[in-house]
Homo-oligomer: A and B are copies of this chain.
Amino acid sequence: MLRRMLCVSYFSGMPGNSIGHSLKLTTYGESHGDQIGGILDGMPAGIAIDIAQIQKELDRRRPGQSHLTTERTEYDTVRIHSGVFEGKSTGTPIAFSILNKDQRSKDYSALEKVYRPSHADFVYDAKYGHRDHRGGGRSSARETACRVVGGALAGLVIPDIEIRAWTSSIGPIEIKTDWQHLDLTKIDAHPTRCPDPAAADEMEAYIEHVREEKDSTGGTITVVATGVPVGLGEPVFDKLQADLAKAMLSINAVKGFEIGSGMAAAEMRGSQHNDEITADFQTKTNNAGGVVGGLSNGAPIQLRVAFKPVATIGKPQETVNSAGERVVLEAKGRHDPCVVPRAVPIVEAMVRLVLADHYLRNLKYKR
């Protein structure tokens, strides 16, 4: 059955390259095309757009930031083409692009017909029949650079909401401290983006160890949003946690999502889990993770996201090519042993996009 599917091409489908309703990001671009980019539609007019600030977020995502990440040195520079006039948004769509400078497409020619394990090569071939195989094409995590730009713009819509993400675990090493006791201004001070200094050093050593073994590792990112107004989220399907979960699971390599108590909620009792309400309508605890009944309740929104280990590893792996012939693959060249530190700004960006979208979906109707 699968073989037959490989032969048919010309599949259609309602497209999925946009996210958001009131604030809508559409992205485009392949890893080795001439550029990637996007359009953010729905930005209110009159907002000061600081390109340096957007560029700074983009710099946090780029490879080659530290010895832990891939050695490629891409200098991603964002260019804005519309929707901004004299430094302020005009309410029209903001288009942006980032050139693909350091493509080295030749590196990938050997892989043209090989289906790399846990990569999208096979499924893209099966679905589309025709694909840009270079560097993963559209399935490459390079696309997430556009999310970082979109998220930085979205953040300008909700300046009173502070969103911070950090590496909370790498492989078996995790932060034990409750986030309220971490110094979140230190996140970027360590190449792991872990704000707990002791854990961070352990994580760094672990990543280096894994790299030496030509292997890779997964990890988790925790993200907290404070200053969220009460009432964001739209019952019953566009609950705030539902849209956050979708945004998180739309990021390459994410396999799990938790809000508040998360998976651990399953083991708890109601008397433990319930967040009692105080006289100022705050809650004593925050097992809810800031969302009740699909709506923000004013408490910090607290999420945890699991990333699988990087699929490209130097160790030999068995797989097949498009003809179904057995291939043993040993990845050469430049690849991250762990994407988690670089994914921190991506996670933040997606949370910003969701919260700004829901903020704009929740404006006051008043006659």
A277 touches B319 (CB 8 A): yes
B315 touches A30 (CB 8 A): no
Residues of chain A from 309 to 363 with CB closer than 8 A to chain B in the complex: 309-313, 315, 317-320, 324-326, 360-363
| A274 at interface by CB-CB < 8 Å | yes
A58-66, A80-88, A185-193 - interface stretch: A80-88
B123 touches A296 (CB 8 A): yes
A36 to B296, CA, bound (A): 25
Task: Say how far A324's CB is from chain B's closest CB, in angstroms.
Answer: 5
Known: A274-B118, A361-B13. A139 touches B235 (CB 8 A): yes
Known: A15-B42, A131-B85, A138-B236. A265 touches B270 (CB 8 A): no
Identical subunits present:
4
| A72 at interface by CB-CB < 8 Å | no
| A179 at interface by CB-CB < 8 Å | no
Q: Give chain B residues whose Cβ lies under 8 Å from the Cβ of A289.
A: 255
Task: Say how far A351's CB is from chain B's closest CB, in angstroms.
Answer: 14
A22 touches B29 (CB 8 A): no
A260 to B218, CA, bound (A): 14
B236 touches A320 (CB 8 A): no
Residue of B nearest to A29 (CB): B82
A172 to B306, CA, bound (A): 22
Known: A93-B15, A262-B306. A210 touches B269 (CB 8 A): yes
| A113 at interface by CB-CB < 8 Å | no
A256 touches B258 (CB 8 A): yes
Q: Give chain B residues whose Cβ lies under 8 Å from the Cβ of A35.
A: 81-82
Q: Give chain B residues whose Cβ lies under 8 Å from the Cβ of A272.
A: 309
B159 touches A318 (CB 8 A): no
A9 to B317, CA, bound (A): 47
Known: A3-B281, A217-B270. A294 touches B231 (CB 8 A): no
Q: Give chain B residues whose Cβ lies under 8 Å from the Cβ of A220.
A: 263, 266
Which of B82, B129, B157, B263 is the one whose CB lies under 8 Å from A46? B129
A119 to B273, CA, bound (A): 12
Task: Say how far A111's CB is from chain B's closest CB, in angstroms.
Answer: 13
B281 touches A320 (CB 8 A): yes
Residue of B nearest to A318 (CB): B276
Chain A 149-175 near chain B by CB (<8 Å), digits 1 or 0: 000000001011000000001011000
| A205 at interface by CB-CB < 8 Å | no
A281 touches B324 (CB 8 A): yes
Task: Say how far A67's CB is from chain B's closest CB, in angstroms.
Answer: 19
Q: Give chain B residues whose Cβ lies under 8 Å from the Cβ of A246.
A: 237, 242-243, 245-246, 249
Which residue, of A159, A265, A270, has the highest number of chain B Cβ atoms within 10 A? A270
| A230 at interface by CB-CB < 8 Å | yes
Which of B22, B219, B268 is the one whose CB lies under 8 Å from A14? B22
Q: Give chain B residues whose Cβ lies under 8 Å from the Cβ of A160.
A: 367
Known: A12-B360, A130-B89, A256-B265. A39 touches B45 (CB 8 A): no
A179 to B229, CA, bound (A): 42
A249 to B288, CA, bound (A): 13
Which residue, of A38, A89, A230, A317, has the highest number of chain B Cβ atoms within 10 A? A230
A294 touches B119 (CB 8 A): no
Task: Say how far A258's CB is from chain B's closest CB, in angstroms.
Answer: 4
7 A-B pairs in the complex with CB atoms less than 8 angstroms apart: A10-B47, A17-B236, A30-B82, A124-B293, A127-B230, A143-B236, A245-B249
Excluding A217-B269, A217-B270, 11 further A-B contacts by CB distance (< 8 Å) are A3-B281, A11-B363, A28-B41, A29-B82, A38-B39, A88-B130, A118-B292, A120-B294, A123-B231, A236-B250, A249-B257
